[in-house]
Structure 1
Amino acid sequence: MSLIGEERKRKILDLLETDGNVSSAELVRLFDVSKETVRRYLDELESQGKAKKVYGGAVKPSARYEEPPYLERMTLQREEKQQIGRLAADLVRDGDVVFLDEGSTPLSLISHLTQSGLTVLTHSFPAASILMEQRNQGRFDGRVLFLGGEISPLHARCSGTMTEEALSRYYIDKAFVSVDGLHPEAGLTSLDDGKSSVSRKAIAQAGSAIVMADATKLGHRFPYKIGGLADVTHIVCDRPPMTEWERPLSDLALSWIAPLSRH
């Protein structure tokens, strides 16, 4: 590797340290090089354990399988999550009973809900708070049902047997589910057992299950399985699917919705 190549890799590491992630497109513009050159830099950093490649770029590697706190997650991929929320809202119909999973990505759906007569079930404190605020402002006319249970202050959610039992009392039209990892073979996975159990129960109760995931979640597999790709009907992402997704999408008739492409 040339001296200039080493300097560029140090710059990539600086960006990862500051932002936690970096996109290949950003690096192509920054360094004025080809995608292949950027891919080589990321391959070398990943082989050294200094970066973790994801769809469209790289993220800072984590030494532990640990879910970031809610407030930290809120700062990541904000623009991408708003794109996902806008697209996901198009799937909702007047009068639907909707499950809104915990996490920062499902939150992006709320501001785009213009349908009438909705019933929203959630175990997310931030989601319930935003929905109440919008109801008081006249921007949401539906019902909000909060699913109680064991409270996680760090992640601002409830989980456990009480939450799952509450979910079992409802038939859900559409479940909007968050994930930590989305893999073409491993399916939907999570960093937390309690979170995965609630999401799994919601999918079981739903007529349609929609995964909301930004591109940094693609290609990852974590310890706790939420479900397989056969369990969901739609994936809403900020990027079109890569080649390795073509076969499972075709075999399962699974709809992938992205800003520039609908598969």
Structure 2
Amino acid sequence: MKAEARRQAIMEFLMEAGSASVDEIAELFAVSKMTVHRDLDQLETESLLRKVRGGATVQSSSQFESDFVYRARLATDEKRAIAQAAAEHVEPGQSIILDDGSTIAEMARFLLERRPLTLITNNANVMSTMMGIQGLKLISLGGDYNKRFHGFFGLLTEQALDSIRADQAFISTSSVSDGTAFHQDQEIVKTKRAIIAAADTRHLLVDHTKFDKTALHALTGLGEFARVITGAAISDRARSGIEEAGAVLEIARGQAETPL
């Protein structure tokens, strides 16, 4: 396992466990304690965890503010490539919905080239990035702010979505397996389902690390999406699940350039 992939896996483990010792991490990933210390030093430098005596934690760290912050710092080159590829499916004059995902947040800046647009979102990062831009009508979905996901969710969000109809929606999720998208949070699932129902065409944006994994709640079958966009090769099993669902698999090639 390459260092970047291992560090991502270490963070995912710590997100579930809260904390772990160097010995536990070394045994879990079959690497030396010295390698674990190097990985933890790098992750601490990026403010993703806090080293403690004999291990590391993501608890009680003022730097570790939310899952969104963590997700936004992972696989950034791939996320940008996915975001740029997704933006190419948007036509000027359309109305589109962007959900709470960190990959979706990357997509927002590429939409400047697609104006005029109506942009509907519950993503707080997208709201702050796109506010006041000429040629862009920004509709902010109300609801309860969730610090962990840096977005707005709940009954008010769902009611707002029930009253609109958009041309396209771009949606993310935490895992995909056997033709089904999954997410670990029930409230977020409800909002994402409302987004799916509010758009004529839906696209799923997921980086390659999320395939062949499940989470607590089934979000929807991949047949609800016109295409699944990822940034690297995926397993034959994952590919088959997409094809059998009737969705198009699109792999974004190359490193995206962030527009000014």
TM-score, length basis structure 1 = 0.71
CA offsets, 1:164-186, max 9 Å, x none?
0000111111110010001124x
The answer to whether the 8 A contact 1:184-1:229 is kept is no
Equivalent residue for 2:227, pick from 234, 240, 245: 234
Q: Does 1:146 align with 2:140?
A: yes
Verify: 1:258 aligned to 2:251, yes or no. Answer: yes
Q: Is the 8 A contact 1:241 1:256 kept in 2?
A: no
The sequence identity of aligned pairs, in percent, is 21
Equivalent in the alignment of 2:117: 118
Distance in 2 (CA, whole Å) between partners of 1:103 and 1:84 is 12
Partner residue, 1:162: 156
- How far 1:15 moved relative to its partner? 6.1
- Aligned pairs (5 A) from 1:72-87: 72-87=70-85
Give deviations 1:184-206, integer Å, cap 9, x for gaps.
24x11111111111111111121
CA contact (8 A) 1:160 1:198 kept: yes
How has the CA–CA distance of structure 1 residues 250 and 170 changed in structure 2, closer, same or farther, with 3 Å as cutoff?
same
Q: Work out whether residues 100 and 120 of structure 1, in 8 Å CA contact, stay in contact via their aligned partners in 2.
A: yes
SS in 1 for 2:192: helix
In structure 2, distance between residues paired with 1:144 and 1:213: 24
> How far does residue 259 in structure 1 lie from its aligned partner after superposition?
2.6
1:131 aligns with 2:123: no
For residues 112 and 149 of structure 1, do their structure 2 counterparts lie closer, same or farther at Cα, with a shift above 3 Å needed?
Answer: same
Contact 1:171 1:206 in 2 (8 A): yes
Q: CA RMSD in A?
A: 2.8
Q: Give the CA deviation at 1:130.
A: 0.5
Q: 2:206 aligns with which of 205, 213, 225?
A: 213
Query: Which residue identity lines up with residue 240 of structure 2 in the other structure?
Result: R
- The answer on 1:171 being equivalent to 2:157 is no
Does residue 1:191 correspond to 2:191, yes or no? Answer: no
Residue deviations 1:107-146, cap 9 Å, x none?
A: 111111111221111111111000116x1xx5xx111101
Alignment coverage as a number of residue pairs: 207
Counterparts of residues 85-96 of structure 1 (less than 5 Å): 85-96=83-94
Cα distance change on mapping 1:241 and 1:85 into 2, 3 Å? same
What is aligned with 2:97? 99
**Contiguous gaps of at least 5 residues in structure 1:** 1-8, 23-44, 52-67
Q: Please tell me whether the aligned partners of residues 240 and 256 of structure 1 are also in contact (alpha carbons under 8 angstroms).
A: no
C-alpha distance in structure 2 between counterparts of 1:206 and 1:109, whole Å: 18
C-alpha contact 1:175 1:202 (8 A) present in aligned 2: yes
Distance 1:96 1:81, change over 3 A: same
TM-score, length of structure 2 as denominator length: 0.72
SS of 2:167's equivalent? strand
Task: Return the alpha-carbon distance in structure 1 between the equivalents of residues 152 and 246 of structure 2.
Answer: 33
How far, CA to CA, are the matches of 2:116 and 2:5 in structure 1?
A: 44
Unmatched 5+ stretches in structure 2: 11-23, 31-65, 255-260
Contact 2:177–2:241 (8 Å) recurs in 1: no
**Separation in structure 2 between the aligned mates of residue 21 and residue 181 of structure 1, nearest angstrom:** 14
SS at structure 2 position matched to 1:121: strand
